[in-house]
Structure 1
């Protein structure tokens, strides 16, 4: 490629490679799409278009071509798969498409690699990798974030009821929130906040159901079991600090002042059980040395 390449000529060469690379999103392995010679032809095309002297230097235009290729892959192949999905199907497909998209972005980035060396640093603009994440976040994640968050909370509640959830899904969605933050934790922190609030509501409504059915000591044993189950579940998809916060919330709802207040209110509403809050307090005092939820910082 010693002669000057015009933008139109270069784009014609790249179009075929970009179209073929998008087949990664359909499940095709990269090894079946390009020979080494084909891959190098595309890399050489971008390289020469970057190092040619003006007016044949097209770094800015190539950067936009890379960005548009990512955007087109999202609008034409990813979003149609995701738009009608809900609950566990949504989480599964978002993670599946994000995984394939990362492969696509890395593969396309190989064609355009010279831009990171010759353009993005000089212009102080997003690297190809950063741009890839931004495109997915802006066009996919931001659009579906509320649905993904609600699906995750629903799965956690479902798992509390019947232990039927594949917890790898929850691990994947937790990882997705972190990766979409590009090193910042705001998406994950919002996820954590929603989980903790949902957990508090769940046990706050569950505890009054126990009061007519179980003795204080039975309630204590059930609370201890719930703490252990929550720790075992949450440890599979949350950071340790998040697990500790979650256990503190469960403890407060089932064995803390919130629980005592509900027991006292129940005693007022059911005079024949008026001493239940006193019994409950006595049980907690007698069991104060027990560790509730192995590894929990609360007793």
Structure 2
């Protein structure tokens, strides 16, 4: 039997809609049983599937919408607007009516779900959910949204001022604004967010002006940080997540960016003062606040760079030859370590601050010092002091490794890396040949660190020197075997020869010296052994690098003297006579006079007093030298150090060698570039060659031009016939 429209609707109204409204009015007491729900659903279903003229689908759809409108106009809206509610009371009323309406909506949609499944899809009408939301928006929300937004903004300002507010209430009302957009955030954005951001702008503009006038830089930043954290907390608890980026832009702009110069430049409390006092917490706060806008870090990075340069300039100006110049390296390591830690730990390795530290360090370490030495030489000398037995001592190997890391970091900023390498190589040679290296592992570690920074070619000679020292034991064993096989006379002395590869080691003069017969005999035997073992290599004997341990019997005790080869020859010669003049020593030993005097001074010095000189003053060639038989050393083994030779000459020689090597490096680079390009303009050639050579040294464009002219003269290049500023590759 067909159900008539009025009959069916009457049952729906009485047993469904009215009962739900009653449950709502009774504070949710009561319920609709499963049987009641099934009956109502069946009525709707039957009225929808009946054949015409008893199919009432469209009428049910319209009456559903009308019943919703009736509820909103007669119940929900009056309840919100009654008693002229405003502020929090208005928000509470809106929240309650929305929750009641949602309950009504859910039950009604369940009753009429058949409409959604078939009628709505077939006719492309709004879904029942959308009908309910649209009616609430038009009949209720549009009428009170402005007042609700006003109330929320007042509540938010109260929250900012420290009053206790109900953030969950805000969250519920915000959710209504979001749902009114029916899947879009347009209504939330237009009716609330824009006003919220505008109010935020005005509020924090006022606060910023007050804080700027009364607070120090750290105090201002702490307040700004708390404000930002509070706003994020408010947004998390109450607002829609989509507002975060726009809210942060407003906060950062009006709290930080707009007043950045005044905040960080505050006298006695600003950014520079924080750097001076190492206020790490405040410095970390600056980065944390400004990092959201990378462009804002650029002026801060410049301030950091200028400050580091200023501190570094003081170190440069205070470097004095009389006052330990190696303090320059120690202070530069301390300076770089301090700001490297700041950039790494506080500024999260930001490229802007990393660049500032790099440029500042390069500026300091590549300027001319007040003394004759260059930073490259001082760093190499400091390494020598650190790695020598009688140099700087570190408590543990870990501390030594850490110090080497610091040295390599400041080394990396040098433009003249090749000059450092030349000084380092010669000092390494002295350490190895004089057995003054404190730690072989540390030597290898340092070379490894340089290799990582500059490549294998940069350290190839250093590694070759280390390998030559390793081969010494191999030669020692094979020489002993050679003596046994050839039945040669037993040596009267112990001989340990270091065979050095010429290309790896610094250039040394092949000095002629009249050796003691025992030394000559041992040398000749080793020469025979080496000639037999190798056919295409020739030994050059560098006696000035040799060390000899002599057993000396003085009246009071026997001591062992560690001396140079020349000093040993002097002592052995004087051992055969009572005394001899400096001139006669020179003639017999064939050692240059200046070198002979340099070798004699530590032996005559009152610290050791191995030899007597008559008269005691000066070093005239006529002065007599004799063994001091009254010598009574306090130790059984004595190492006699040499007086340093004139370092200015060595320094100039090193620099000259580096300049000569640079010419070859520039020429090789020019040929590589031109070989690949065939034709290239002058400016582009200068740029590409400079880029290739920068890892080792900074080439002077004039030097590159000079090498180009030389290569043209040697017919490796020619000027381009049609372009006077371009070159062609010929070879």
**TM-score, normalising length: structure 1:** 0.84
Q: 1:94 and 1:296 mapped to 2: Cα distance?
A: 41
Could you say if the C-alpha distance between residues 110 and 188 of structure 1 is closer, same or farther in structure 2, counting changes exceeding 3 Å?
same
Q: Does 2:285 align with 1:290?
A: yes
- Cα deviation, residue 132, structure 1: 1.2
Post-superposition offset of 1:297: 2.5
* 8 Å CA contact 2:225, 2:289 repeated in 1: no
**1:74 touches 1:136 (CA, 8 Å); kept in 2?**
yes
Question: In the alignment, which residue of structure 2 is the partner of 1:267?
Answer: none
1:232, distance to aligned residue in structure 2 (A)? 2.0
Residue 279 of structure 1: aligned partner: 266
Provide the rounded CA distance (Å) in 1 between the counterparts of 2:93 and 2:55: 40
Give the Cα–Cα distance (whole angstroms) in 2 for the partners of residues 158 and 21 of structure 1. Answer: 38
Question: Once the 2 structures are TM-superposed, how far is the Cα of residue 160 of structure 1 from its aligned partner?
Answer: 0.5
- Quote the Cα distance in structure 2 between the aligned partners of 1:223 and 1:167: 22
Measure the CA separation in 2 of the matches of 1:245 and 1:112: 42
Unaligned runs of 5+ in 2: 275-281, 298-731
Alpha carbons 2:48, 2:55 under 8 Å: kept:
yes
| Aligned residue number for residue 273 of structure 1 | none
For residues 157-176 of structure 1, the aligned pairs below 5 Å read 157-176=157-176
1:202 aligns with 2:203: yes
Structure 1 residues 24-173: aligned runs within 5 Å: 24-29=23-28, 32-83=30-81, 84-173=84-173
Q: CA deviation at 1:82?
A: 0.5
Cα distance between partner residues in 2 of 1:166 and 1:293: 30
Aligned-pair CA distance for 1:251: 2.2
Shift of 1:167: 0.8
Partners of 1:22 and 1:165 in 2: CA distance: 31
Q: Distance in 1 between matches of 2:86 and 2:197?
A: 22
Cα distance in 1 between the residues matched to 2:173 and 2:291:
24
Aligned residue in 2 for 1:268: none
Q: CA deviation at 1:135?
A: 1.3
SS, match of residue 237 in structure 2: coil
State the 1:281 CA deviation: 11
> Shift in Å at residue 207 of structure 1?
2.3
Contact 2:133 2:182 in 1 (8 A): yes
Structure-1 separation of matches of 2:50 and 2:197: 56
> 2:221 corresponds to which residue?
220
Offset at 1:104? 0.8
CA contact (8 A) 2:264 2:270 kept: no
Change in 2 beyond 3 A, CA 1:216/1:297: closer
CA deviation after TM superposition for structure 1 residue 33, in Å? 3.5
Q: Describe the SS at the equivalent of 1:297.
A: coil
SS in 1 for 2:238: coil
Deviation at 1:208, TM superposition (A): 2.4
- The alignment yields a C-alpha RMSD, in angstroms, of 2.7
CA distance in 2, matches of 1:290, 1:211: 17
Question: Does the CA contact (< 8 Å) of 1:227 and 1:292 recur in 2?
Answer: no
Deviation for aligned residue 1:180: 1.1
Conservation of the 8 A alpha-carbon contact between 2:221 and 2:286: no
Q: Distance in 2 between matches of 1:296 and 1:62?
A: 59
Counterpart-to-counterpart distance in 2, 1:110 and 1:166: 33
Q: How many Å separate the matches in 2 of 1:121 and 1:280?
A: 71
For the residue of structure 2 that corresponds to 1:12, the secondary structure is helix
Structure 2 CA distance for partners of 1:156 and 1:280, relative to 1, 3 Å: farther
Larger radius of gyration: 2
- The aligned counterpart of 2:179 is 179
**Compared with structure 1, are the counterparts of its residues 166 and 281 closer, same or farther at alpha carbon in structure 2 (3 Å cutoff)?**
farther
CA distance in 1, matches of 2:178, 2:286: 32
Residues 284 and 134 (structure 1), Cα distance of their counterparts in 2 relative to 1, 3 Å cut: farther
1:280 Cα deviation after fit: 7.0
Shifted more, 185-194 versus 117-126: the winner is: 185-194
- Aligned partner of 1:22 in structure 2 is 21
Structure with more of its chain in helix, by fraction: 1
Give the stretch that moved more between structures: 47-56 or 215-224.
215-224
Encode CA deviations 1:186-241: one digit per residue, 9 max, x unaligned. 12223222211110000112222334433344323222222222222222223444
Mapped contact 1:46–1:114 kept (Cα < 8 A): yes
In structure 1, the residue matched to 2:565 is: none
Conservation of the 8 A alpha-carbon contact between 2:265 and 2:271: no
- Farther off after superposition, 173-182 or 287-296: 287-296
SS of alignment partner, residue 55 of structure 1: coil
TM-score (norm 2): 0.36
CA distance in 1, matches of 2:292, 2:268: 20
**Aligned 8 A contact 2:256 2:290 in 1:** no
Q: Aligned partners of 1:108 and 1:151: how far apart in 2?
A: 31
Q: Is the 8 A contact 1:244 1:297 kept in 2?
A: no
CA–CA separation in structure 2 for the residues paired with 1:89 and 1:226: 27
Structure 1 distance, partners of 2:6, 2:141, is 33
Report the more deviating stretch, 109-118 or 134-143: 109-118
What's the CA shift for 1:63? 0.6
The structural deviation recorded for 1:107 is 0.5
Deviation string, structure 1 residues 22-45 (Cα, Å, up to 9, x no partner): 224325437x23232222222221
Number of residue pairs matched by the alignment? 282
Instruction: Select the structure with the greater relative contact order (CA < 8 A; seq sep ≥ 6).
Output: 1
